[in-house]
Amino acid sequence: MKKTLFLILTFFLIVPSLSAQEEGYAGYTPLFAPEFKAFLPDEVHETSGLFFHNGRLWTHNDSGGKPILYGLDTTNFEVVQRLTLINAQNKDWEDVCTDGENVYVGDFGNNKGKRKNLRIYIFPLSAIPAEGDANITVDSIRFSFGDQTEFEHEKNANDYDCESMFATDDALYLFSKGWATGTTRLYRLSKTPGTQVAEVVNGFDSQGLITGADYDRESGILVIVGYVNKVWLPFLYLIYDFDDMGTNLPNRRFELHNYLGHQTEGICFYEKGKCFLSCETSPTAVSRMFSIDFRKRIAKDLEKAKK
């Protein structure tokens, strides 16, 4: 009963900002609706990261799950392949990405801000078979945040949690999940296995918790997903012409008021200007998959930029 009342009150608190959004205030863009594709099978009810390869959508569960990447058929979104990562543990997997050569699995969930065993697992994209399950041996990057000196925090009250990662040709990037401030920092890492320190290269007032990201190397467009803490309002950012020092942040924000209560987690490009977006099971919604077509929005923005 208390949860229901909270959602009703939250809805009425948010609705007034919708009219401002539709009129273009505060840098927001008009509302649009991602397309619902399917409810996800129980096997991936905690879907947390996404990447697309060989016609399949790949995902994983987060904290405490098996060290498995699940390949989903993009027609019915059922699990059709399973990749078990050898020499890996799923302490708290939060995102996965590829640079076209390797796959990177981020074991860096850090709700309490006290982890000192942050890792990114690495294996060649070519190790994924066209069909069938497989066991894959992985290498890893062990890292720490260069600006973190304090490791004692209350749960969900720090800015050193992390749930999003993307790869460019030259580096890996992580966005922090700012429980304490609602902002985010952008960290940069080499893609070389070994021990590293993630250094801050940028950041911005994300006005919410960043939970996923993907980078289209062909277009140079970065997409980011997250939700507003305690309100469960999903949002997206489109960032054009991202460069390898992260200087172009941010560009355009979308707030998904129609999907209030969804815990948006993973996002990835699967065609030029088109993305899959996943939501994990939460107190207000079961896990599901959406698709988003940004092509018209991108075309309009790029045309406007020429004028």
63-69 long-range contacts (CB < 8 A, ≥24 apart) are 63/90, 63/91, 63/92, 63/93, 63/109, 64/90, 64/91, 64/92, 65/90, 65/93, 66/90, 67/93, 69/96, 69/103, 69/105
CA of 85: how far to CAs of 88, 134, 166, in Å?
6, 9, 20
Residue 13 predicted with pLDDT over 90? no
Give the residue, 16 or 223, on which the prediction is more confident: 223
Return the pLDDT at 32: 61
Query: Quick one: CATH architecture of 2-306?
Result: 6 Propeller (2.120)
This prediction has a pTM of: 0.90
- Residue 285 in this model has a pLDDT that exceeds 70: yes
Quote the pLDDT of residue 282. 86
Mean pLDDT computed over 43-70: 95
Percent of the chain with pLDDT over 70: 89
State what percent of residues in the chain have pLDDT above 90.
75
Q: How confident is the model at residue 273 (pLDDT cuts 50, 70, 90)?
A: very high
Confidence band (pLDDT; 50, 70, 90) for 212? very high
